[in-house]
Structure 1
């Protein structure tokens, strides 16, 4: 008989419950993972509030797309050597056959959006099932508490790779939340001449300086004047952040947007883009290449997510975790749930 397992289920916006039932068995090609730690993100709060775009969620759902754990069972066709290994996993459930998937951009799969924790059961529970092909195996000595932040690190890695940073570049990161702070660490490894974090919150700026920024401050300070940066990475998702990023970059510079902008966001002036001959890239989630980059950077010591963690709660405190993430308190960094 299968052991009992718990999970948080969001039935509809604003309504969640803790359920318990038989532990699911892995099907063909699947691995079952005992969850060690799961991160709570702003996307989870949007899922709970009902503000996430309808095409990107399917209720009822077990949330949790940032996690780490250990493989405890594998299904037919999955590599048996995965048993007992520490792992993280990509979230997108791509079809693998459309043109975008064949290019290696499974995050842009044209067969429809499917993602762990949003349309498929996630990691806010004792265990979860994932296709074994999505796993990234970690070293036996890996710190699984830190590894839970490799999912947002992969998004930051996608942004950094898209920005093509070069040694000696003047670089700015707009937003010093989780994505921005992880991007700062990855960009610091590229030997920039300047690495400036831009955020109106003093505590976030102080954190950014510890993450590798050479300067940090709110928009409008001398160090963050417009038109002087070779590369600007937007990681704020605020209404005016995309426009701000394009004003900060020099003529001929590069801008990478990572934020999910809500209704009412201020647009980018196309005349400014053309006259400045700006290169603007956008990032939606992370493709496999970005996941691999994040894992390698973390294992090599260029990425340390642990200082971002400010709160650790049990699974039963899901409601408290939602309140923390939605509080807008600058003292709240990464919130973790531990089954």
Structure 2
């Protein structure tokens, strides 16, 4: 038997028990070890996610890790028992964007584990074997549950093309921001600043390699200083503020998920300063590979970001902490 959390509609969920799912040809079944809850999951539960990016009823859970315990027809049996994570986007692999390696821009339409397909807030999960990124034996599956946001950050870092010695700023010290600090610190920046109003989270950034931490008010004195600014907060003002932090001719990468009402980037400033502004939504296959390699080599350690863990039965308690917890609340995990 296998259990799963089903969100029937906004504000309504239940824990169900059913038969073990059976993998179809080309699929594997994963026994879930840990699944992270993020603000996107809270948006699904509250009904605030764009209707084109969720399909009710749904089993949420797009940040996860686990062990392959069954394979479908045509899948290499050597995968049995392997610790693994997997890409969430169900890219077609054949459209023009996929063939260019931009799998997160697949033109066949949005389709993602935990939003339009059953996710990992469950004992077991079915995924296409082609999306797996197997982990080394002995990998910490608790920490590996954060490799999905790490892949998003890897996409941002790769897009930003930070060079050794450059001045880099990260706006936001949440999960994405602190993972970004770890990856950027590995590239030997000349300065690595982190901007966040929460003093505790900013201090943690220093442990991860940041050289400067400040709140948004203090950051005003640093405007025009940075070669690269990686925005991770998705707050109403952070896109515009990130562009002000960048030097003339600098680069800005937006990774936060912005809600309607966010303050727009000033096009006059953008033009006169000749900024390059890029955005990231999800992660292509190359970014996943990058994040998994960084994790396997020890350059990336998500474990210190985890502050709370709950069984499936306490899904409501876990969800309440996400977006509603205090500044000490970091990554919240479900442990089926």
With the shorter chain as reference, the TM-score category is over 0.9
Instruction: Supply the distance in 2 between the matched residues of 1:161 and 1:329 (Cα, whole angstroms).
Output: 32
Please name the residue that 2:104 is paired with. Answer: 107
Deviation at 1:130, TM superposition (A): 0.1
The residue aligned with 1:177 is 174
Output aligned runs, 1:184-203, within 5 Å: 184-203=181-200
Contact 1:215/1:223, CA 8 A, preserved across alignment: no
| One of 319, 322, 331 as aligned partner of 1:334 | 331
The equivalent residue for 2:136 is: 139
- What are the Cα deviations for residues 205-246 of structure 1, in whole angstroms up to 9, with x where unaligned? 111111211111102326961000000000000011100000
> For residues 58-77 of structure 1, what are the structure 2 equivalents within 5 Å?
58-77=55-74
The answer as to 2:279 corresponding to 1:282 is yes
After the TM superposition, which residues 61-100 of structure 1 pair with which residues of structure 2 at under 5 Å, given as runs? 61-100=58-97
Matched residues in 1 for 2:80 and 2:19: separation?
20
SS of the residue 2:216 aligns to:
coil
Runs of 4+ in 1 over 6 A off after TM superposition: none
Cα deviation for residue 271 of structure 1 reads 1.1
Give the TM-score taking structure 1 as reference length. Answer: 0.98
Q: Could you give the per-residue CA deviations for residues 262-320 of structure 1, whole angstroms, max 9, x where no partner exists?
A: 01011011111111011111001000000000000111111110110000111111000
> What is the deviation of 1:108?
0.9
| Aligned residue number for residue 228 of structure 2 | 231
2:301 aligned partner: 304
Task: Tell me the distance in 1 between the aligned counterparts of 2:50 and 2:201.
Answer: 28
Unaligned runs of 5+ in 2: none
Q: Give the TM-score of the pair, scaled to structure 2.
A: 0.99
The aligned length equals 336
CA RMSD of aligned residues (A): 1.0
**Aligned residue in 1 for 2:116:** 119
Give the aligned partner of residue 165 of structure 1: 162
Match among 43, 46, 49 for residue 43 of structure 2:
46
